[in-house]
């Protein structure tokens, strides 16, 4: 065999290995780096990604009405059921050997939807990991023919472009409210591919946990699924994470919410500043729940000087402090809405300057000046979903403090 022929053969073999799935054991441990087929045959599980592509996400996801009307991008796929024209599935697919979950998610989004999460308008962040058994009699799908189950990584992608720009004949959008309603009825739930159906049910459970301020799970086992009314066909272990750390973080965040207990500010891993209606409290709670970090938040009011514990304590690193601002027009609408509710309930007088355009400009200017003077990081949250802001802050924290443990 010539040197060129040997090189070509080696290249083809390498390409074949790259295309193999990344197989794991039922407890989510990688089988072998070279995917030994003997071991795989005894434990045929593999990893896959699932992307919930949110189109034009709401500014305040935690308000059920806004959140429920957010549209999700789904893909049509062939149906083995003659009664169904097609079935619906989330974008995503198997993780290849040598590829991380996140790399797979980015690749599949481009392949399945033409969405590039590297563009500033879009973003991608991890939600949770879950097991799902997929072996069925008569399985013919080439990608899963030898697979008994999936360890799925579920991501949320925020897409701000037009659906028409995706140029996908098999794509459609449905509101979260419509999807949730379909999943609650056995007949309409059959419209979804099995693993997509399972991932979506877990997602809705997670959103319920968020709104109820319950502990969030990073991984779901059969025990948890039983509690949620969902069942895994094979006992599986829960992904490891530290509940105690997370609970302590949430407790700290609640104690220091809205400027309470300023004496504890030096213990905070992240400090959020912001004028009224900038989203400080929900953002703080979200990050403490999902990342296990102690997050304090302080309201900035034009007439009131920030607490001296913030500005004068040398133990507080300004790199940990983030100041939230918002577009003045957007902020005016939000404050007007809140003021109307409070006036209706007679909580404030009729001559409040709270929602006056000129007052809001002064309020924002003072906040921005404080951030610039003290070296705090200003983040404009206008048009951004809460998860996107949290992802931005956590990415900056990882860059600045590589030793910081984020769950």
Domains of the chain: 17-227 (3.90.79.10), 243-400 (3.40.50)
* Dihedrals phi, psi of 171, to nearest 5 degrees: -105, 145
The arithmetic mean of pLDDT across residues 64-79, rounded, is 76
Q: How high is the mean pLDDT of the chain?
A: 77
What's the pLDDT at 50?
95
What's the pLDDT at 172?
85
> Which of 13-17, 80-84, 87-91, 375-379 comes out lowest in average pLDDT?
13-17
The pLDDT of residue 54 is above 80? yes
Answer with the residue of higher pLDDT: 123 or 380: 380
The pLDDT confidence band at residue 8, using thresholds 50, 70 and 90, is: low
The pLDDT of residue 228 is above 70? no
What's the pLDDT at 63?
39
Q: What proportion of the chain, given as a percentage, has pLDDT over 90? A: 26
Q: What is the pLDDT of residues 149-198, one digit of tens each?
A: 888 889 988 887 777 777 677 888 888 889 999 998 888 888 999 899 98
The pLDDT of residue 222 is above 50? no
Distances (CA, A) of 346 to 110, 339, 342, 359: 52, 10, 6, 22
- DSSP states along 116-180: -TTSTT-EEEEEEEEEEE---TT---TTTTT-SEEEEEEEEEEE-S-GGGG--TTEEEEEHHHHH
Q: Give residues with Cβ within 8 angstroms of 227, minimum separation 6.
A: none
User: Facing residues of 91 across strands?
Assistant: none
The pLDDT confidence band at residue 378, using thresholds 50, 70 and 90, is: very high
Q: What is the pLDDT of residues 75-84, one digit of tens each?
A: 988 877 667 8
What's the pLDDT at 224?
45
124/141 Cα distance (integer angstroms): 28
């Amino acid at each position: 065999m010539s040197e060129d022929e040997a090189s070509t053969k080696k290249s083809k073999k390498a390409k074949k290995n790259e295309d193999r799935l990344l197989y794991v054991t039922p407890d989510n441990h990688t089988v072998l780096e070279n995917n030994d087929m003997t071991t795989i045959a005894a434990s045929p599980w593999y990893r896959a990604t699932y992307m919930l592509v949110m189109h034009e996400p709401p500014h305040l996801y935690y308000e059920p009405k806004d959140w429920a009307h957010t549209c999700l991008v789904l893909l049509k796929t062939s149906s083995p059921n003659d009664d169904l024209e097609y079935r619906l599935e989330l974008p995503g697919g198997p993780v290849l050997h040598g590829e991380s979950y996140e790399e797979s998610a980015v690749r599949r989004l481009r392949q399945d939807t033409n969405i590039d999460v590297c563009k500033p308008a879009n973003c991608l962040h991890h939600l949770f990991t879950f097991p799902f058994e997929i072996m069925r009699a008569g399985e013919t799908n080439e990608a899963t023919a030898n697979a008994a189950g999936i360890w799925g990584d579920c991501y949320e992608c925020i897409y701000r472009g037009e659906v028409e720009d995706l140029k996908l004949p098999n794509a459609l959008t449905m509101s979260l409210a419509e999807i949730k309603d379909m999943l609650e009825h056995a007949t309409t739930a059959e419209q979804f591919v099995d693993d997509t159906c399972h991932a979506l049910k877990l997602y809705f459970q997670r959103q319920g946990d968020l709104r109820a301020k319950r502990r969030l799970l990073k991984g779901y086992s059969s025990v948890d699924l039983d509690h949620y009314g969902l069942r895994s066909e094979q006992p599986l272990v829960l992904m490891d994470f530290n509940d105690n750390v997370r609970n302590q973080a949430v407790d700290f965040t609640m104690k220091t919410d809205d400027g309470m207990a300023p004496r504890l500010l030096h213990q905070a891993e992240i400090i959020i500043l912001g004028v009224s209606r900038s989203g400080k409290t929900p953002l703080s709670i979200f990050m403490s729940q999902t990342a296990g970090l102690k997050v304090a938040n302080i309201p900035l009011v034009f007439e009131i000087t920030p607490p001296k514990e913030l500005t004068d304590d040398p133990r507080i690193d300004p790199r940990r402090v983030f100041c939230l601002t918002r577009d003045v027009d957007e902020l005016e609408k939000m404050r007007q809405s809140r003021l109307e509710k409070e006036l209706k309930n007679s909580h404030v007088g009729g001559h409040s300057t709270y929602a006056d355009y000129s007052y809001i400009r002064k309020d924002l200017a003072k906040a921005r000046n404080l951030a610039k003077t003290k070296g705090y990081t200003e983040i404009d949250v206008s048009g951004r979903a809460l998860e996107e802001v949290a992802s931005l802050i956590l990415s900056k924290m990882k860059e600045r403090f590589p030793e910081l443990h984020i769950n």
